[in-house]
Amino acid sequence: MDKELLQQVEAKAENWLNGSYDEKTKAEVKRMLESEDKTELIESFYKDLEFGTGGLRGIMGVGSNRMNIYTVGAATQGLSNYLNREFAGQPISVVIGHDSRNNSRLFAEISADIFSANGIKVYLFDSLRPTPEISFAIRYLKCQSGIILTASHNPKEYNGYKAYWNDGAQIIAPHDVNIISEVEKIKSPSEIKFEGNKALIETIGEAIDAAYLKKVQSILLSPDSIKRHSDLKIVYTPIHGTGIKLIPRCLNEMGFNNVMIVEEQAVISGDFPTVKSPNPEEPAALTMAIELAKAEDADIVMASDPDADRMGIAVKNDQGEWILVNGNQTCLMFTYYILKRRSELGLLKPNDFMVKTIVTTELIKDVCNHFHVELFDCYTGFKWIAAVVRENEGKKQYIGGGEESYGYMPSDFVRDKDAVASCALMAEMVAWAKDQNKSIFQLIQDIYLEFGYSKEQGISVVRTGKSGADEIVAMMKNFRNNPPQEIAGSKVCTIKDYQLLIERDVQTGEKRELDFPATSNVLQYFTEDGTKVSVRPSGTEPKIKFYIEVRFPLANRSEFDAIEAKANMKIMAVRESLGI
């Protein structure tokens, strides 16, 4: 054990024993200090839980590196200080929401007290709500900021704190670094104003729910299809989270009267008792929903994560087997459906645009080109999608966007990924496909038949500790300085380096500047046969991430399985080429 580190940790913990912390917290610190095994003490105090560009996220517990009332308090005090400085002389208000996680309500109420103690008006939701509704409420109530207490789909030990600006989007430059600076100035609980001003705290709920769901209804494109297929068999699971508050209600109000809920997973619980991970990207999280779908011969399975921003689905293939649809496919289907229906209804306008992240399937670009709709690429994360929307506000009309990580934003009244609106649009799409005697699986095939087949896979290479972090830095440096000349037998023709903001044509050596608002440590390689590989280190975990996409023509439906097998082999060849 590193003696110097242990001494630093013990000194930091002693400060908590002697500081203005509550007695329960001090007792827990004392227990850790007196324990023979110092692992828990070190993990809890070896660093401060950082308020990053996405806010806070960490394991709950006592200590400077844990989510607790003091780390949440410092974040809220820092944000309050910044808001009072940025909007000096103006009335300031914020929205506060929370998910189903343990301590989320406690952290929300403490945050409400701190904001109000700093003279800021607080709109506090009466109980748990989906993340997208918080984004909506900020703009609806004309607030300057807002927060939600959530750790999204992380394991049950975690909680988090996401901060939003006045456009309902997660905070980006310059506000992010400025808020971080204010949070870092808070050195003691005595600097946090915990004594709330109840006169400045207003409880909100049903009125915002109704306004938000009315907006969701406004994006629908096939109401007649819904009427014809009101008995559509929809299986839905909220995976113990906030989706249960609004998604079944939304589907019922749309006209669907046969929504079957996985009752065991409708139990609101921060322990997520029926799953190891409450993540709709994980096949195991949808197991119970698929079992119910089999028993009821359902048309679609839909799931949302605990804060109801991500949506996952499962569909029946032509053999009647239930298969999971990945995030790229979902994003592709939404793009196709929105553009196809808008085109049929005469709703497409010359100033319409869509957005995808750079690691999301390039097939979306082909679909947008087909319908003559502008597509913007942006960095991973919905704060960047929202930034594109903000930049084009008043000039162009946003009509949809998303990313491969199971998130979609169907309209700009929410400025974050939105599982409520996504479930609504997906259910409508199933009804629309039924009007054409097609399943959702066949609709996916139709897109591939028209635009070519695409298969994507994400791979995370984990390298832990300092040596692992050094290895990741070395890997990125090597990819940057010695880029592959070919991948899986196909020549690399284009390289994009988002750290240098340069795109290079390998054959001619010609370079052009990439039009992005900031630099990012991401590399992309495009080959002559349409393969795309993206490489980036994770910003939050000891990982280097690879996103692989391979393309093949698909002539007819009967070739689908063979082409899919061919694509899987190609992905293996790509991995071999890259040594992953």
β partners of residue 52: 55
Taking Cα atoms as reference points, which of 477, 470, 472 lies closest to residue 462?
472
CA dihedral 486, 521, 326, 305 (to 10 degrees): 170
**CA distance linking residue 424 with residue 220, whole number of Å:** 8
Taking Cα atoms as reference points, which of 376, 364, 279 lies closest to residue 329?
364
Q: 149-168 burial string, b = 16+ CB within 10 Å, else e?
A: bbbbbbebebbbbbbbbbbb
For residue 115, give the amino acid letter.
F
Active-site residue, selected from the candidate residues 104, 145, 152, 222 = 152
**CA distance linking residue 496 with residue 480, whole number of Å:** 10
Q: Is 152 a catalytic residue?
A: yes
Beta carbons of 362 and 454 less than 8 angstroms apart: yes
**CA distance linking residue 168 with residue 174, whole number of Å:** 16
The percent of the chain in helix, strand and coil, each rounded to the nearest 5, is: 40, 20, 35
β partners of residue 301: 235, 314
**CA distance linking residue 161 with residue 107, whole number of Å:** 9
Beta carbons of 238 and 159 less than 8 angstroms apart: no
Q: What angle do CA 99, 100, 105 make, to 5 degrees?
A: 70
Burial zone of 527 (CB within 10 Å; 0-12 exposed, 13-18 middle, 19+ buried) = buried
Burial zone of 86 (CB within 10 Å; 0-12 exposed, 13-18 middle, 19+ buried) = middle
As annotated, the active-site residues are 152
